[in-house]
Amino acid sequence: MIRLGVMGYGSRSNSVVRHALRRVDPDVRVTGIVDPDQAGVRARLDDCDRNDAQFYPDLRTMMRRARPDALMIGTRCNLHTPYAVQAAAYDLPLYLEKPVAISMTQAQTLERAYRKARCPVVVSFPLRVSPLCSMTREFINRDCIGRPEHITALNYVPYGTCYWEGGYRDYNVTQGLFLQKATHDLDYMMFLMDSPIVRVAAMAARGRVFGGNKRAGLTCAKCREQDTCPESPANRQRNQSGGTLKDHLCPFGKDCGSPATGINEDASSALLEFASGAQGIYTQVFYSRRDAHRRGAIISGYQGTLDFDWTRNDLKYIRHHAPFSDTVKAGEGLSHFGGDLELAYDFIGIIKGRGRSRTTMQDGLRSVYACLSAKESAEKGRFVKVRQID
Ligand SMILES: NC(=O)c1ccc[n+]([C@@H]2O[C@H](COP(=O)([O-])OP(=O)(O)OC[C@H]3O[C@@H](n4cnc5c(N)ncnc54)[C@H](O)[C@@H]3O)[C@@H](O)[C@H]2O)c1
For residue 274, report the distance from its CA to the centre of ligand 1, in Å.
31
Domain count for the chain, please give it.
Answer: 3
Range list of H helices, the chain: 11-15, 22-24, 38-44, 59-66, 80-87, 104-115, 126-129, 131-141, 162-165, 171-174, 177, 183-193, 233-239, 339-351, 361-380
| 374 or 52, higher pLDDT | 374
Do the domain assignments include residue 347? Answer: no
Q: Could you tell me if 26 and 151 lie in one domain?
A: no
**CATH code, domain with 272:** 3.30.360.10
- Where a domain ends, among 125, 143, 171? 125
- Under the banding of pLDDT at 50, 70 and 90, the label for residue 279 is very high
Do the domain assignments include residue 254? Answer: no
Q: Could you tell me if 63 and 202 lie in one domain?
A: no
C-alpha to C-alpha distance for 330 and 198, rounded to whole angstroms? 32
Residues 6 or more apart whose CB falls under 8 angstroms from that of 81 comprise 100, 101, 102, 106, 107, 109, 110
Taking only the tens place, the pLDDT of each residue in 189-229 is: 999 999 999 999 999 999 999 999 999 999 999 999 999 99
Judging by DSSP bridges, how do beta strands 94-96 and 70-73 pair with one another? parallel
Identify whether the C-beta of residue 44 lies closer than 8 Å to the C-beta of residue 14. yes
Based on its alpha-carbon atoms, the radius of gyration of the chain, rounded to whole angstroms, reads 21
Q: Could you tell me if 7 and 56 lie in one domain?
A: yes
Ligand 1 atom 21 nearest Cα: 10
Taking only the tens place, the pLDDT of each residue in 124-168 is: 999 999 999 999 999 999 999 999 999 999 999 999 999 999 999
Pocket lining: 243 vs ligand 1, CB cutoff 6 Å: no
- Under the banding of pLDDT at 50, 70 and 90, the label for residue 390 is confident
Pocket lining: 88 vs ligand 1, CB cutoff 6 Å: no
Mean pLDDT, the chain, rounded, equals 97
CA 346 to chain centre: 17
pLDDT of residue 367: 98
Pocket lining: 11 vs ligand 1, CB cutoff 6 Å: yes
What kind and span of H or E run contains 292? none
For residue 181, report the distance from its CA to the centre of ligand 1, in Å.
14
Would you say residue 236 has pLDDT above 80?
yes
CA 275 to chain centre: 23
Q: Could you tell me if 30 and 67 lie in one domain?
A: yes
Which is the closest atom of ligand 1 to the Cα of 14? 16
Q: Could you tell me if 11 and 82 lie in one domain?
A: yes
Q: How large is the average pLDDT for residues 110-126?
A: 96
Do the domain assignments include residue 390? Answer: no
C-alpha to C-alpha distance for 302 and 150, rounded to whole angstroms? 10
Pocket lining: 58 vs ligand 1, CB cutoff 6 Å: no
Q: Could you tell me if 196 and 302 lie in one domain?
A: yes
Which is the closest atom of ligand 1 to the Cα of 15? 16
Q: Could you tell me if 190 and 169 lie in one domain?
A: yes
Give this prediction's pTM. 0.97
Share of the chain above pLDDT 90, in %: 96
Note if the bond before 126 is cis, omega within 30 degrees: no
Would you say residue 337 has pLDDT above 70?
yes
- Under the banding of pLDDT at 50, 70 and 90, the label for residue 5 is very high
Q: Could you tell me if 291 and 306 lie in one domain?
A: yes
Pocket lining: 6 vs ligand 1, CB cutoff 6 Å: no
pLDDT of residue 335: 63
Would you say residue 336 has pLDDT above 90?
no
DSSP 11: H
pLDDT of residue 310: 95
C-alpha to C-alpha distance for 40 and 19, rounded to whole angstroms? 19
Residues 6 or more apart whose CB falls under 8 angstroms from that of 155 comprise 181, 182, 185, 282, 283, 284, 285, 294, 295
Q: What is the largest CA-CA distance in the chain?
A: 65
DSSP 194: T
**What strand order describes the sheet that includes 28-34?**
54-55, 28-34, 2-7, 70-73, 94-96, 121-123
For helices 361-380 and 104-115, the axis angle rounded to 10 degrees is: 160
For residue 159, report the distance from its CA to the centre of ligand 1, in Å.
18
Q: How large is the average pLDDT for residues 18-37?
A: 97
Do the domain assignments include residue 45? Answer: yes
For residue 289, report the distance from its CA to the centre of ligand 1, in Å.
24
For residue 167, report the distance from its CA to the centre of ligand 1, in Å.
10
Domain of 93, in residue numbers: 2-125
Taking only the tens place, the pLDDT of each residue in 160-176 is: 999 999 999 999 999 99
Do the domain assignments include residue 337? Answer: no
For residue 288, report the distance from its CA to the centre of ligand 1, in Å.
24
For residue 194, report the distance from its CA to the centre of ligand 1, in Å.
30
Closest CA to 101 of 126, 63, 129, 73: 73
For residue 75, report the distance from its CA to the centre of ligand 1, in Å.
3
Would you say residue 89 has pLDDT above 90?
yes
Q: Could you tell me if 321 and 365 lie in one domain?
A: yes
Would you say residue 355 has pLDDT above 70?
yes
Pocket lining: 40 vs ligand 1, CB cutoff 6 Å: yes
Q: Could you tell me if 113 and 154 lie in one domain?
A: no
Q: Could you tell me if 119 and 54 lie in one domain?
A: yes
- Where a domain ends, among 73, 108, 125? 125
Q: Could you tell me if 13 and 30 lie in one domain?
A: yes
Pocket lining: 124 vs ligand 1, CB cutoff 6 Å: yes
